[in-house]
Each structure stands twice: as C-alpha cells, then as structure tokens.
Amino acid sequence: MSVVVVGIQWGDEGKGKIVDLLTEKADVVVRFQGGNNAGHTLVVKGKKFIFHLIPSGILHKDKVCMIANGVVVDPLVLIEEMEALEREGIIVTPNRFKISSRAHLILPYHRYLDQARESQTGKVIGTTGRGIGPAYEDKVARRGIRMADFMDPEIFTRKARENFERANILMTHYLKKEPMTDDVLEVLNDKIRERLRPFIADTSSILHRLSKEGKSILFEGAQGAMLDVDHGTYPYVTSSNTVTGNVSCGAGIGPTSIRVVTGVLKAYTTRVGGGPFPTELHGKIGQALRDKGAEYGSTTGRPRRCGWFDAVAVRYAVRVNGVTSIALTKLDVLDNLSELQICTEYRLDGKPVEDFPPRAKSLEHVIPSYKRMKGWQQDITQCRRWDELPSATKDYVSFIENAVGVPIDIISVGAGREETIIRRHPFLKE
C-alpha cells in the first residue's frame, strides 16, 4: 500500500511530524520533489531534528529512506545532513538510504545565480537562494547534471564546465554581477563523489520491486500545493510540482499504486516570501500566532506571514491533490484566542468568486468572508483522544472538516511526536 503526504497550504504545514508518525506503519519513505529549500522540523523526546533532504523516516532504525529522481540535490548539503545525524548516533548506511541516480544536482553556480536574481530590484519572489530554481531550469533545458553523471569524473567535469561558463555569461551580461571564479567547481571533488557513491541506485526499480513484495511505501513532498509551479499562486511559487500527481513522475512509480493521499494543513494559515495572502493578519493576532507557533523558517529563519484559516484555498488544494484524508496541525497555537475566524468565501468586485483565481493580481484584491467562532482558551496539549478536546475545539475542527469536504483523521496538539490525536490511521484505511 502507498500513502502520499502533501502540504495543502503554502508549505510549513508540519509535514515532517506527520511523516514521522506514519513511518511507524511504513517500510519505505520516499522524498519525490523539491530540494533543500524545504525544511522538516521534528521534536522527538524533547530533541529537535531539522531535515532538508533526507526523509525524516531515517529516525526509525528499521526503515528504508530514498531521495527519488524528482528531487534536486546539493551534495554538500546532503553530506552535512548525513554527518549531523551521525553526530546524534543515527548512522546513515547504504542499506537504509538510497539516492536516485537520475536525481539532478544543485551546483555552486546555481546558488550564485539564484541569489543574484533575487537581489534584483523589483524581481523579488521570496526564494531561499539555495539554487533550486536554476537547477530545475537546467534540468528542463536538458543540460542538467544527474547523480549518474557525477559518478563519472570525466562526464561531470565536461558538463559542469560548459554550464559554469553559460552561468557566468548570465551573471555578467544580464544580472550585472561580478563573474564567478573557477574555484566554485572545485568543491565537488573526488572525496565528495566517493562519499556518496555507495548510496546511488535506481530507486524506481527498487520501489517497483518493494511494491510487488507488498511493502508499505510513504511518499513525502516538500513545500505546499499553493506553491506548485502549475497550480500554485504563480509566479510566487517554487520551481517544481508539489502536488500528488508528481509522485509518479518524481519517483518513477505508476499512479495506480497510490491508495491514500493525506493532506497536511495548519489550523491557521502561513506563507513565506512574496505573493498574495487573502487572510493575512498584520496586527497583534498575527504576531501572536507567529510567536506561539514559532513561525520562523527552518531553512532560512525568515518570519512567516500568518493569517486565519482559508477554506477556499484548501478546497482548491484538496481538489488538485485528490486528498482523501487530512492531518490538522498546530491546533494548540490557537489555545489563547477568544475568537477565531475561518474564511469560507472570496468576493471580488462585490461578487462571489466560484473558483480559486488563477491570477495573483486577482487574489491580491479578493475580500474574504469569514465565519466567526468561539475560542476554547485552554491548554489542549495533553489531549490524546477526540473526546478529551473542549467542545469549542471540536466545533472548530468539525467546521473545517465540513468546509473542505475531507475527514480530519489526525490532529496535532503540540510539537512532540506523542502530542497527537489519531482518529483513523491512513495506512489502515483499506
């Protein structure tokens, strides 16, 4: 059986914790898109772990984790992450961790290009500057360098040199920046290559075999559906497809193998960087959500913009992802508020908006219509069953469930692994 975990807001929904929870019932955990522009934060027995590339399932000793072909990989960041885990006593071995030979590399010149573009006046999208966009550009332009290429020093050197020279033309003639020096290529040397070589594999073939053997496979995405390059708030999006449909392309498995899609969403809404945000709160309540929810990016440390729950955006994300189950996170962040609001509808030019607008400009001008609800104003972090929640909390959760049309199977009431209410387990739904 295969379960997909996807974010269905603007990212940072708490996917890492949900993946960690579901890994207990999985045999394999697979990351299928994105790069180290995403960060999954987990708190296990009071200890914080932050993952950027390696699936968070690596914390479970008997699980196999994979980085599939749809991910763009910065080898230096990957090795840093492996070494950080090893310092905590978690040894990353080739029998437990695989990297697709078809995954594309992020090289130093990708990062320089990304940062140079983001610094241009009037061109700010809000990227992390980690080189993800330029790496995907090279992939689509058929000049990308894959892990299989990196394993061959001659092929890698030739391709990297050609791409480096092309990137320098962009830097100097278009972006008006100083040229990059040759030493940016020297960091990816034989030592790095040999460190990663034992982990490189045909992950698609392995997944096919494991699926035939009846193994349970958990696919995890990065970012959120509203940042999808096709279906998100374009152009304020990431450079890959974050939605469920990309599991097949990004991992090399057939769509018929997917049984359950668990959409992860917060009990309120956040986003990082530029772009429209209809329910954004600019005053004390927004700051209170940011402070109590620790809404600062695990990758960049940037403060997240915070707002009320947006059922319109979530309904759209549910539809394009085929969500069958919801995990609601950070419900405890709302504990101290006396009144809560949920956006149920947009209005534009005085008229209801039937579908989620495709243009960012339209989204910037919509007026949200809200359902006001009573807060519960008590600590829910000790609740472990649905019937232990205050009645106002259950009313809030039930309203969201009805507003988006999908059952809420998991409720997170705190950062810790144990601070969770599981009403129905996604791996046991069949």
Active site residues: 12, 40
Q: Single out the residue of 102, 41, 113 nearest to residue 73, CA to CA.
A: 102
The answer to whether 59 and 68 have CB atoms below 8 angstroms apart is: no
Amino acid, single-letter form, for residue 366: V
Q: Report the C-alpha gap between 215 and 265 in whole angstroms.
A: 27
Amino acid at 258: I
Instruction: Confirm if 171 and 177 have CB atoms less than 8 A apart.
Output: yes
* Phi, psi torsion values for 173, nearest 5 degrees: -90, -30
**Smallest Cα–Cα separation from 323: which of 406, 410, 203?**
406
DSSP string computed for 67-123 = E-TTBEE-HHHHHHHHHHHHHTT----TTTEEEETTPEEP-HHHHHHHHHHHTSTT-
Q: Which two tokens stand for residue 92?
A: 């990353």
- Report d(CA 20, CA 90) in Å as an integer: 15
* CA angle (235 as vertex; 258, 170 as ends), nearest 5: 110
For the four alpha carbons of 356, 357, 360 and 362, in that order, the dihedral sign comes to negative
**Exposed e or buried b for every residue in 396-415, given b needs 16+ CB within 10 A?**
bbebbeebbebebbbbbbbb
User: Where does 197-273 have alpha helices with state H?
Assistant: 203-212, 246-251
Q: From CA 105, how far away is CA 97, in angstroms rounded?
A: 17
The C-alpha atoms of residue 211 and residue 115 are separated, in whole angstroms, by 40
Q: Are 227 and 14 spatial neighbours (Cβ–Cβ below 8 Å)?
A: no
Can you tell me the distance from the alpha carbon of 7 to that of 263, in angstroms, rounded to the nearest whole number? Answer: 6
Burial class (CB in 10 A: 0-12, 13-18, 19+), 17: buried
